[in-house]
Amino acid sequence: MLLHNARARRGRYDESLRDILNIQAADESRAWLSTWDGLKAGPTPLWDLPDLAARLGVGSISMKDEGHRSPLGSFKALGAPIALIRLIRRLWPDENFIPAKLVAGHYKARLQDFTVVSATDGNHGRALAAAARSIGCRCVIVLHRHVNDERRLAIEQLGAQIVQIDGNYDESVKEAARLAGEHGWHVVSDTSYEGYETIPRDVMQGYGTIAAEAIEQRNQGSYTHVFIQGGVGGLAAGVVSYFAERFAERRLFCVIVEPEQADCLFQSAVKGQAALATGSVDSIMAGLACGEASPLAWRFLHVLADAFMTIPDDAAVDAMRMLAAGAERDVPLVAGESGAAGLAGLVQASSSAEDRAALGLDERSSVLLLNTEGATAPALYRQLTGLRADDVLAAQRGWLARQKEGA
């Protein structure tokens, strides 16, 4: 289902939005992140997929591959560490904690009794646990019933204490807040709620790195469209705000993609305010299985997102397989179930003449997609695709070697 956002606007980036998310703070975050050994050096790959573009009837498709961002396997490695660094520096303003020394563990003795807590669908909690381990503070992660054992074990292996609840993601957010109040811990969440916006802002600011790299990697960002995953909206707000400030009226046409049963941003667009999803929220796209939009993220998306669309779970699985298969001119890619959602949205839109017209998609369109995660749950990836992630990565290396030989 596709919904055009009549409230979307172009032009100069609004000062009230710039006060919250801006390029200067995003670039500062990027510089701090570059000192953390939890991330791989340099930008993530930007893959061109010409055969897929021809198949879908667009000029080009560029896939920013966040599965290569870090051993954690997802874009979340950009948000949680920055939020934790900024939180610690705010709490101890007179200590003059240097970000590079923080993530190198120079202040472990000072911070060993400091505890952070968060709810997660998997990737944010894993990133927060990794950052806390590097810095030397304690970390507690609240998991809901839909988080599978692979993701739980990955978080535990990073030293975090796990609290499991029977409810869904939104209930785990409430439980994290309750535990923080009871124990004097600090919530480091990627979703905002009443009275809690500063840390989600910091998380979103970290995601600006993705936009900055995409601009540098392709002719100053000569894209016409971006299909970007929804969730609570933090990724989309962090990325689209960067493009909006940089390009003003020439910013990309932004399409938000969500699971049918976790459509909180779609419903927010319908109602004109941050809203709840209408479905069960139990999607195979675990990172997007969010029932309540982040009010802070919605402040950006209600004027910077041009369209909202929902996709069935099967579409995401089909997109995972499509990316894994590659083509003669398309490198094989490992995309998790949430990572493939943007492509699934583009495939769905491209199959409808009405949707193509509504989105302005044609043979001149240059589409940016974000693979937000690799196989962060390898057994689930194999179950859904019939392929081992390691075998797809081996095929990727083989494809790249052939391209190099033929150059």
Q: Find out whether 330 and 50 touch, Cβ atoms under 8 Å.
A: yes
Strand-strand pairing, 2-4 and 307-311:
antiparallel
User: Largest Cα–Cα distance in the chain?
Assistant: 62
- The Cα–Cα gap between 287 and 340 comes to 11
- The Cα–Cα gap between 111 and 79 comes to 20
Q: Which of 51, 64, 65, 76 is the catalytic position? A: 76
Cα 318 from chain centroid (whole Å): 20
- The Cα–Cα gap between 372 and 369 comes to 9
What is the strand order of the sheet 253-259 is part of? 2-4, 307-311, 253-259, 225-229, 366-371, 60-65, 46-48
The verdict on whether 390 is a catalytic residue reads no
Total residues found in the chain within this entry = 407
Q: Which of 27, 37, 48, 121 is the catalytic position? A: 121
Q: Categorise residue 37: left if φ over 0, alpha if ψ from -120 to 50, beta otherwise.
A: alpha
The verdict on whether 174 is a catalytic residue reads no
* Cβ neighbours of 133 (radius 10 Å): 18
Catalytically active residues are: 76, 121
